[in-house]
Copies of this chain bind each other. A is one copy, B any other.
Amino acid sequence: VSINVIQYGLGPIGIETLKVAAQRSSIKLVGAIDIDPNKVGKDLGELAGLESLQGLRVTDSLAAVMARSKPDVALLTTSSRLAQALPQLDQLMEAGVNVVSSCEELLFPWDRQKELAERVDSLAQRHNVRVLGTGINPGFVLDELVVTMASVCSTVSKIEAKRILDAGKRRGPLQKKIGAGMSEAEFRDLASKNALGHVGMAESVAYVAAGLGWKVDSILETIDPVLCRKDTDSAVGKVSKGQVAGLRMTGVGKKGGAEVITLELQMYVGAEQPGDEIFVQGEPSLRTTIEGGIPGDIATAAKLISSIPRVLQGDPGLLKPLSLGFE
C-alpha cells in the first residue's frame, strides 16, 4: 500500500523530512509546497540533493497539488507557532488531507491556546481528518516517552525529565534560538519578547499532565542564559568567555502547590554531559537515560514519518494522548 504524501514547508526540517520520506517504499511523495520565491518552480530532487525526487517541482499552492493528486497526508513544517501555521493547517483540513506537523505549539495547544485547539479539533472532525503535532522536543523526549515510561507504573507521584544538548555540535540556525554569542542583557531582552528560546516546554508539561490524567493547577516556563566560561569555537560560531553560551529552560507543572512535573532543557555551546534522562517517581520508580541525547533534527524528521500510520486511522480530530487515568 502506497501512501500519498505532500511536504509543506522546505526549510531545514522540511528538507530533512523529505529525505527520510524518500527512503520508505510505503510513501509516495506527490507534492512539495513552499512560499519562498527562490524555491518555487525548482526541482525537488535538486533542492533536497536526492535523485529519487527528481521531476517533482516545488509549488506555492496547495490547489496546484490537489489538482493532480490525492494526498493522504501532509507533513507541515512551516512554523513553531500555531497561529502562524494555522492558515496552512486550515487549507489542508478543508482539502481533506491528514496532517503530521512539527509545529511545536500543535503538540498540545489545549492548555495555553484552548480556543485554537478546539477550532482545529472541530474543523478536523468536520472534514474527517486527523491532525498530529509531534517531533522530538516537543513530541518525544520530554513528553511522549515520559508518558510511555509512566504507563508501566501502578502509581506516579512526580515526573522529572531533563535534556542536555551541546549546541556547539548542532546546525547554525540554532545560534539565534539559543542566543549563543550574545550579551546577557541582549539575551534577556529578546527572551522577554519571546524572540528567542525553545518553543514547547509548556506544551510538553500539559501533554504529560494529560497523558497521566493529572489536573495541574499551573504551568510555568522559565528561561535563563548559560554563560560561557571559556572562549570556544563551535559550529554556531565563536563564543567568548562571559557571553551567552546558550540557554536553560524549564517547564513546571504544579498540583496543590507542589511541583509534580519538572521538565528541563539545557542547550548551550560546550555542554559537558549531553543526554536525555527521564525519572518517573512512583511504584516502581524508573530512571531512563538515552546516552548523548537524541539528535533533534534527523530524529524529528524520522518521528514525523513514523507518525504517518497513526494519523491514517482512528477517530478524526486533533490527536492527544490517551489518559493513563492517574489522579
Residues of chain A at the chain B interface (Cβ within 8 Å): 19-20, 23-27, 136, 140, 145, 148, 151-155, 213, 283-284, 286-292, 294-295, 298-299, 301-303, 305-310, 313-315, 322-327
Contacts and interface: CB of A to CB of B under 8 A. Distances in A.
B23 A303 contact: no
Nearest to A26: B325
A302 B152 contact: yes
A299 B24 contact: no
B23 A154 contact: yes
Given A290-B287, A313-B315, A302 B23 contact: no
A327 B27 CA distance: 12
A305 B154 contact: yes
A3 B324 CA distance: 13
Contacts of A153: 299, 302
Given A25-B327, A152-B140, A299 B314 contact: no
Contact of A27 (B302, B310, B325): B325
A21 to B, nearest CB: 10
B287 A23 contact: no
A143 B209 CA distance: 26
Nearest to A152: B299
Name, among A292, A307, A324, A325, the residue most crowded by chain B CB atoms within 10 Å (CB to CB).
A325
Sort A-B residue pairs by CB-CB distance and give the 9 closest, nearest first.
A151-B306, A152-B299, A287-B291, A154-B302, A26-B325, A20-B154, A309-B322, A24-B325, A284-B295
Contacts of A25: 325, 327
Nearest to A16: B154
B299 A294 contact: no
A324 B295 contact: no
A153 B148 CA distance: 17
20 contacts: A19-B154, A24-B325, A25-B325, A26-B325, A145-B148, A148-B148, A151-B302, A151-B306, A152-B299, A152-B303, A154-B299, A154-B305, A287-B292, A289-B289, A305-B325, A309-B322, A309-B323, A309-B324, A313-B314, A314-B314
A148 B306 CA distance: 10
Contact of A152 (B289, B306, B323): B306
Contacts of A284: 294-295, 298-299
Nearest to A288: B290
B289 A288 contact: yes
Contacts of A27: 325
